Structure 1
Amino acid sequence: MELTDVIYEKKNGIAKITINRPQVYNAFRGQTIQELIWSFRDAWDDNQIGVVILTGAGEKAFCTGGDQKQKDNEGGYGYNGGLGGGIGLELETLHQTIRNIPKPVIAAVNGFAIGGGHVLHVICDLTIASETAKFGQVGPKVGSYDAGFGSTYLARLVGEKKAREIWYLCEQYTAEEAKEMGLVNKIVPGNQLQQVAEDWAIKILAKSPTALKFLKYSFNADSASIQGITQLSMGSLAMFYNTDESAEGVNAFLEKRPADFSKFRK
């Protein structure tokens, strides 16, 4: 597959996948998601690969979720692409691929991990963050949500109260705050992030691949039912994107003004 939005590298048993859209803070479009899925599946099929590192290009962002400028506000408010259960993004497939690949996935968060980008790091096995990383959700601000792994699994990590705070208030949290709530394993200076991620990958490569595979399956088993909730979430999101309420969030973002959802409470 010819990659335009992702940089994919394999070396010494480590696959490194970099979202390469720094001009939009590594926000993803349909093409980006397809390239991420392809890269993870290639790493899955390569028996020489034992660990995957997921990161973002540049120093400002890991990933800031869906690129709002890629939404089709003329033909139904979903993202351009026509895939992904009606929303134009194969997010459900990507999430399942990251969870099911029988190899540990390390998120190296080099900046903003916001919205759908926050969900990506949440479902990775481990997260290492730079000191300047920021975490948070924006869905309700822009007429969107992730009612699957992005909320249900998040609650398992940080607790119900904190997960509701993250989604209801849509505030941003520092790397230290994220570590305190259990979202981050380790914080390092930005110029050491990639090296530390590789150091952890090397330590993992020294372990039994079969043991790691079944440990990951075991960890996943307790939250496997969330997949069914994710299907409901994506199906409802496809319908929600076709409403004026969702469109208000997108338009406000693009017009750089506060969204006015008051008319939808009448």
Structure 2
Amino acid sequence: MDVERRGDAVWITINRPERLNAYDLEMAKAMIAAVESAADADAVVLTGAGGAFCAGGALDNLGSPDPEALRALFTTSLRLVDALRACPRPVIAAVDGPAAGGGNELVVACDFAIATQRSTFGQTGPKVGSAPVLGATNLMAVQIGEKRAREMAMLCRRYSAEQALDMGLINEVVADDGLEAAVDRWLGEIHRLSPRYLEIVKISANQWWNQSKDNMSSGLGMLIQAIGSEDMIEGANAFLEKRRPDFRGARDAAGEDAR
């Protein structure tokens, strides 16, 4: 992960393009620290390197899960999305490429989102043996409507940048080579505004986020209790092996083994 001060803004770049910028525990902690230390900036920009925004938490160890390590990653992910909302400065998601799973929930958590035309959005939870409880099952319904949010969270469809704009998930779509210029334009507009009153607006506008936090905590507790389940293991292995998961077959096989 790279953190760079560019003028009056802090740019945080998730830099693991070989895994679509999926983050591990240490990266999540580093992002939290970078966001929390940016209170003196005009704004924070969260982006990804190498043609992807973020694929959420890394799935590498879900096929043979370490419960304590996963508990730490899950709970730190909640701290990460909360840090984005608690940051006193506006946070812009600069999206180029896939924003998937927990990466899509980072977009939900940011104040603004600007995306290139080639970007895509969507959740992956039930497809990979998980559930998107850190934004997609609660706050996202406020942003894009309940029916569309359930469609995204439950069916794991992918959506183009133009579709995401129409839904209200993002603020602007730009040409594939125009992302930084568009972000700079937004940063220039923010720079002309009062930091004090922007913070008041942001904290006051967190009403729905604050009401969602209890739901996020309970959903996270359910995810932790499901660590090592047949569905988690089958979903993760299918993802890593690039095949379609067979959740019902895996459950039946587990039942046979138990007998």
Report if TM-score (shorter chain) is over 0.5.
yes
SS class of match (1:222): helix
Sequence identity percentage: 36
TM normalised by structure 2 equals 0.92
| Whole-angstrom CA distance in 2 between matches of 1:23 and 1:148 | 24
What does 1:165-184 correspond to in 2, within 5 Å? 165-184=151-170
Gapped runs of 5+ residues in structure 2?
none
Q: Which residue of 2 aligns with 1:90?
A: 76
- Specify whether residues 73 and 16 from structure 1 end up closer, same or farther in structure 2 by C-alpha distance, changes over 3 A only: same
Q: Which runs of 4+ in 1 moved over 3 A?
A: 74-79, 263-266
AA aligned opposite 1:63:
C
Q: 2-side partners of 1:152 and 1:217: how far apart?
A: 18
Structure 1: 5+ residue stretches without partners: 1-5
Corresponding residue for 1:115?
Answer: 101
2:37 to 35, 42, 45: 42
Name which of 20, 23, 29 aligns with 1:25: 20
Cα deviation digits, residues 183-232 of structure 1 (max 9, x gap): 11111012110121122012101100011000001110233111111111
Partner of residue 64, structure 1: 55
- Confirm or deny: 8 A CA contact 2:99 2:120 kept in the other structure: yes
CA RMSD after TM alignment: 1.8
Q: Quick one: structure 1 residues 202 and 70, their matched pair in 2 at CA, closer, same or farther if it must change by over 3 Å? A: farther
What corresponds to 1:157 in structure 2? 143
SS at structure 2 position matched to 1:235: helix
More helix by share: 2
Alpha-carbon distance between aligned partners in 2 of 1:212 and 1:167, rounded to the nearest angstrom: 31
The number of equivalent residue pairs is 252
The alpha-carbon deviation at position 23 of structure 1 amounts to: 1.1
User: How many angstroms apart in 2 are the aligned matches of 1:247 and 1:190?
Assistant: 36
Question: Quick one: which of 13, 16, 24 aligns to 2:11?
Answer: 16
Aligned residue for 1:3?
A: none
Q: Is the 8 A contact 2:139 2:208 kept in 1?
A: no
Mapped to 1, the partners of 2:151 and 2:44 lie a distance apart of: 31
- TM-aligned CA deviation for residue 249 of structure 1: 0.6
1:101 aligned to 2:93?
no
TM-score, structure 1 length as denominator?
A: 0.90
Offset, 1:78:
5.5
Cα distance in 1 for residues equivalent to 2:130 and 2:171:
28
2:209 match: secondary structure: coil
